[in-house]
A and B are shown apart, each in its own frame.
Chain A
Amino acid sequence: MKVIVCAKQVPDTNEIKINPETGSLIRDGVPSILNPDDANALEEALKLKDMYPDTHITVVSMGPPQAQDMLFECLAMGADEAILLSDRAVGGSDTYATSNAISAVIDKYKKEFGDFDIIFGGRQAIDGDTAQVGPQIAEKQHLPQVTYVVDFKLSDDKKTVTVKRQLEDGYEEIEVKTPCMLTCTKELNQPRYMSMKGIFNKDKKITVWSAADCEVDLSVVGLKASPTNVYRSFTPRPKGKGVMVAGDTEAEIAANLIASFKEKHII
């Protein structure tokens, strides 16, 4: 089987601080990591490879040259190869333009390696939290999609996938034929660590492609081709000391608290 995993290098948003004077993000010293949901996507591909050793896993990403660090980690976890689209022409892309660029990479992949069976992606990336790029790649590739995957099974003939798709109050069981695009959640599996063998394996390679290398249509990528633009950005106002809830009895205090919650749509 041929499997593609879409991965993104993201800043660890737990470590980000804001400069209160300028309201800008302080990125210095913030570690860059493999997006957590993408690690689950890769793990599910690796589990397939455990079961069917002839499975070939290609990790695809877009980003600056440093994103190779993240791809190296993917290879050390067990992926077979990685492709990074890195080009200023795709910088500033919103989700629409990003999916155009990644779809071009996948088209190029098909030309070089033939058809794939499954694309695994993370449900969403922790820097943007949009969950849009996965479905938009599926649309550009004319693939059926299942998002929020929490359980995955492949039929013996490897042609049909049965997944559980998480809902707010339960799940759906869905059957879909390959090729298809699946976006993975952290409930799906526990990503493995890099292996020593993986870390020291020098045979696996990361290929860096420019926009020209993968024949990206430059009119559909980058800042200018992005239908959404940032109008303004800002930090939420830091909160000051709050109020003491008034009331003569505990019941009155409780009623006033809940009334204030409702007025402010907290509940």
Chain B
Amino acid sequence: MSTNLADYKNIWVFAEQRQGKIMGVALELIGEACKLAKDISDETEVCAVLVGDGIEDLAKECFEYGADKVYLLQHPLLKNFTTDAYAKVMTEAMEVYKPEIVLYGATHIGRDLAPRIAARSHTGLTADCTHLDVSVAKYIEFAKANTTLDTSTLDPESKDTGLKMTRPAFGGNLMATIVSPRTRPQMATVRPGVMSKREREAGRTGEVIKVDVKLSEADVRTKILNIVKEAKEMVSLTDADIICSGGRGLGGPEGFKLIQEFADKVGGVVGSSRACVDNGWIDHAHQVGQTGTTVKPKIYFACGISGAIQHLAGMQDSDIIVAINKDPDAPIFEVADYGIVGDLYKVIPQIMEAWDK
């Protein structure tokens, strides 16, 4: 590993596109790369890498969201994603232009492609990052605000600008910050939705570099027969990002009609307290709690749920808990990040209306 680290410059974002549409996570990563570039040096540029066929027009979007340069890798064999073709052209472009950092969205495509490239380039890759830093001072700031980490061993004056990639491990029980100190580029996949896009700056432009792509059919060993779009299937409680749960406060089985509408609106699934299941208002499959399913969604809406211990045991590790209850003394408010005292039949329709605004 005798890489000369100083030869590697600039931040690349794999600007993933599907059927000619840029994925939101790519624009988020361009926004994040702008922040990181500033902390590395004034000369560090943010480069979007567009891989596909007939996708020149997407460069404009990359510039307007903050890219300084766009590398265009185009070929008829790149029209749809294949591991072989994309890994080959990306790896070869990286060898020529030597980026210091390469970021990918942690999508089903990014998570397929990036490890293959990392192995071929003999460099490190950190999966599913939720936070990135280059500046040690900013890392200390982040750690102090969000974690229990003892930061006394870190030097805020440090000149180290290596990429510090923070990710959950052990099912979210632990966070780890990973570095790739000896190899370049430093690579990470980043979860969609955690970084912020910059405000779109209409008319902002930059340099487009057309990269010479060498590909033949023999390079691509998988054949795509079909790409099928499906409406999202009914997901199980354990996989749901958002759960809307109803409790005894619904007053009757018909209350779950509102909860279902609420769940449909926010892209969630319906959960329930044990009381409702015991009363026969809803099927046991929906029950959250010690005797039901243990859940850890991003958002848990507890609607008319008082918060019995057995229920709390099954949902208190949710990222964000919103409790809606008439009784201000309900124990659910002790674990809620957001508490709303009120009539759920009035509050929920308003949340549904505000959701799209």
Stretch touching chain B among A51-59, A64-72, A85-93, A169-177: A169-177
Q: Of the candidates B1, B84, B125, B320, which one forms a contact with A266 in the assembled complex, judged by CB atoms under 8 Å apart?
A: B320
Q: Considering the chains assembled together, what is the distance between the CA atoms of A244 and B258 in angstroms?
A: 23
Quick check: A147 and B111 within 8 Å, CB to CB?
yes
Q: Contact check, A146 vs B173: say whether CB atoms are below 8 A apart.
A: no
Binary contact readout A194-238 vs B (1 if CB under 8 angstroms, 0 otherwise): 000000000000000000000000000000001111111111111
Query: CA of A230 to CA of B123 in the docked complex: distance in angstroms?
Result: 15
In the assembled complex, the Cα of A168 lies from the Cα of B178 at a distance in Å of: 27
B148 adjacent to chain A (CB < 8 Å): yes
Instruction: Decide if B175 touches A234 in the complex (CB within 8 Å).
Output: yes
- Residue A61 at the chain B interface, CB threshold 8 Å: no
Knowing A232-B143, A265-B196 are in contact, say whether A167-B122 is a contact too (CB < 8 A): no
Q: A13: which of B108, B164, B173, B334 is its contact (CB, 8 Å)? A: B173
Interface residues of A in 117-137 (CB under 8 A from B): 126-136
Q: With an 8 A cutoff between CB atoms, is A94 at the interface?
A: yes
Q: Is the CB of A233 within 8 A of B221?
A: no
A side interface size, CB within 8 A: 77
A31 part of interface (Cβ distance < 8 Å):
no
Please tell me if B96 contacts chain A, counting CB pairs below 8 Å. no
B309 is an interface residue with CB less than 8 A from chain A: no
Cβ of B180 under 8 Å from chain A: yes
Report which of A16, A139, A254 forms a contact with B353, defined as CB distance below 8 A.
A254
Does B183 reach chain A (CB closer than 8 Å)? yes
Task: Please indicate the chain B residues that have their CB under 8 angstroms from the CB of A132 in the complex.
Answer: 111, 114-115, 118, 125, 127
B40-96 residues with Cβ-Cβ distance < 8 A to A are: 83-84, 87
The interface residues of chain A lying within 8 Å CB-to-CB of B199 are: none
A250 located at the interface, meaning its Cβ lies under 8 Å from any Cβ of chain B in the complex: yes
A58 to B286, CA, bound (A): 39
- Cβ of A239 within 8 Å of any chain B Cβ, yes or no, is yes
Contact A233–B350 (Cβ < 8 Å): no
Minimum CB–CB distance from A232 to chain B (whole Å) comes to 5
Q: Which of B4-12, B201-209, B269-277, B337-345 contacts A (4 or more CB under 8 A)?
A: B337-345
Interface bits B100-127 vs A (CB < 8 Å: 1, else 0): 0000000111011011101110111111
B residues less than 8 Å from A167 (CB atoms): 108-109, 227
Q: Are B347 and A250 in contact (CB under 8 A)?
A: yes
Kindly list chain B residues whose C-beta atoms are within 8 Å of the C-beta of A138: 116
A238 CA to B173 CA, complexed, in Å: 11
Contact for B338 among A23, A128, A174, A260, CB less than 8 A: A260
Give the complex CA separation of A78 and B278 in angstroms.
41
CB 8 Å contact bits of B139-180 with A (1 = contact, 0 = none): 000010011110000000000000010001111111111111
Q: In whole angstroms, what is the CA distance A232 to B149 when docked?
A: 8
Q: Is A175 a contact of B169 with CB atoms below 8 Å?
A: no
B257 within 8 A of A: no
Interface SS of chain A: mixed
Inter-subunit contact A96/B227 (CB<8 Å)? no
**A250, B344: Cα distance in complex, Å:** 9
Residues of B within 8 A of A1 (CB): none
Given contacts A127-B170, A250-B347, contact A244 B183 (CB under 8 A): no
Q: For the complex, is B354 an interface residue (Cβ under 8 Å from A)?
A: yes
| B177 close to A148 (CB less than 8 A) | no
Return the chain B residue nearest A14 by Cβ.
Answer: B171
Pick the contact of B118: A23, A96, A166, A173 (CB < 8 A). A96
Question: Do A95 and B125 touch across chains, with their CB atoms under 8 A apart?
Answer: yes
Interface of chain A residues 73 through 113 with chain B (CB within 8 A):
94-96, 99
Bound Cα distance from A232 to B232, whole angstroms: 37
> Nearest CB to that of B321 among chain A residues?
A242
Contact of B115 with A95 in the complex, beta carbons under 8 Å: yes
Q: A258: which of B170, B336, B351 is its contact (CB, 8 Å)?
A: B351
Q: Are A129 and B183 in contact (CB under 8 A)?
A: no
Q: Which residues of B lie under 8 Å from residue A174 when comparing CB positions?
A: 222-225
Residue picked from B87, B148, B176, most chain A C-beta under 10 Å = B148
The residues in A between 233 and 259 inclusive whose CB is less than 8 angstroms from any CB of B are 233-239, 241-245, 250-251, 253-255, 257-258
A104 to chain B, nearest CB (A): 14
* Interface membership of B322, Cβ < 8 A: yes
Contacts of B337 in A (CB 8 A): 239, 242-243
Return B16 CB to nearest CB of chain A, in Å.
Answer: 11
Kindly state whether residue B228 has any CB partner on chain A within 8 Å: yes
CB distance from B190 to the nearest CB of A (A): 13
Which of A94, A145, A244, A255 sits near B112, CB closer than 8 Å? A145
CB-CB under 8 A from A136, the residues of chain B are 115-116, 118-119
Give CA–CA (A172, B116) in the complex, Å: 19
Query: How far is it, in angstroms, between the C-alpha of A236 and the C-alpha of B167 when the chains are bound?
Result: 11
Specify the chain B residue showing the minimal Cβ separation from A171: B228
Chain A to chain B: the 4 pairs with minimum beta-carbon distance, closest first: A13-B171, A227-B124, A254-B350, A242-B337
A/B interface sample: 15 pairs, CB < 8 A: A13-B170, A25-B174, A96-B123, A130-B128, A146-B83, A147-B111, A147-B112, A175-B225, A232-B176, A233-B174, A237-B146, A244-B339, A250-B347, A254-B350, A254-B351
